[in-house]
């Protein structure tokens, strides 16, 4: 049985994961309007992935005899200052999510909830990948600078994400 403290924190995490999906979808909309369809595609897939993360928490709570209570999701920003700004905000956001996951894991350890620790280990590993991906793209955009041809090629590369 999932204890109340973990249930409440996991319900809060569902909200954060759904906000992440909303945040990345907003970025996708911005990138489409900036004529960067490859980057927009990358963000749409990222949004889908965040929805899947929310559902993992949803299912874990129910599997452990808890109750999901959905919370309000804030409106994400809609304006950005170019591709670099989008991916710097992506990296910042993923670092924040890493902190939230670490807090959840810490609580699972404190509460001696081994099943939740095992469940959360997947998210710990996932956050390493999320931060790495965002960081690499930020660095690539910085290397490109104002070179339009390279930006065009990077956009095409981002559009090949599966």
Angle at 53 between CA 71 and CA 37, to 5 degrees: 100
- Other CB atoms within a 10 A radius of the CB of residue 150 amount to 14
Give the span between the Cα atoms of 14 and 88, in whole angstroms: 23
H/E stretch holding 80: none
Q: Does domain 4-67+74-158 have CATH number 1.20.1260.10?
A: yes
Instruction: Give the 3-state secondary structure of residue 2.
Output: coil
pTM for this model (two decimals): 0.96
Give 14-27 as a DSSP string: HHHHHHHHHHHHHH
State the pLDDT at residue 146: 84
Give the span between the Cα atoms of 156 and 6, in whole angstroms: 42
- The first and second tokens of residue 29, run together, are 């909309």
State the pLDDT at residue 32: 98
Give the span between the Cα atoms of 162 and 160, in whole angstroms: 6
At 107-149, the pLDDT tens digits run 999 999 999 999 999 999 999 999 999 999 999 999 999 898 9
State the pLDDT at residue 62: 98
At 19-49, the pLDDT tens digits run 999 999 999 999 999 999 999 999 999 999 9
State the pLDDT at residue 42: 98
At 52-82, the pLDDT tens digits run 999 999 999 999 999 999 999 999 999 999 9
Counting every residue written for the chain, the total comes to 162
Query: Backbone phi, then psi, for 3, in 5-degree steps?
Result: -75, 165
- The first and second tokens of residue 108, run together, are 């699972």
Q: How far is CA 103 from CA 12, 41, 43, 132, in A?
A: 12, 31, 26, 20
């Amino acid at each position: 049985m999932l204890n109340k403290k973990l249930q409440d924190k996991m319900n809060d995490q569902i909200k954060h994961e759904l906000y992440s999906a909303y945040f990345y979808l907003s970025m996708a909309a911005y990138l489409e309007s900036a004529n960067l369809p490859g980057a927009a595609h990358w963000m749409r897939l990222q949004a889908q992935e965040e929805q899947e993360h929310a559902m993992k928490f949803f299912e874990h709570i129910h599997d452990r005899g808890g109750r999901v209570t959905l919370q309000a999701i804030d409106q994400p920003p809609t304006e950005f200052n170019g591709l670099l700004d989008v991916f710097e905000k992506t990296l910042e956001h993923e670092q924040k999510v890493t902190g939230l996951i670490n807090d959840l894991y810490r609580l699972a350890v404190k509460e001696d909830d081994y099943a939740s620790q095992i469940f959360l280990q997947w998210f710990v590993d996932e956050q390493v990948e999320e931060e790495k991906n965002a960081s690499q793209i930020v660095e690539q955009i910085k290397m490109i600078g104002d070179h339009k041809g390279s930006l065009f090629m990077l956009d095409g590369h981002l559009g090949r994400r599966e």
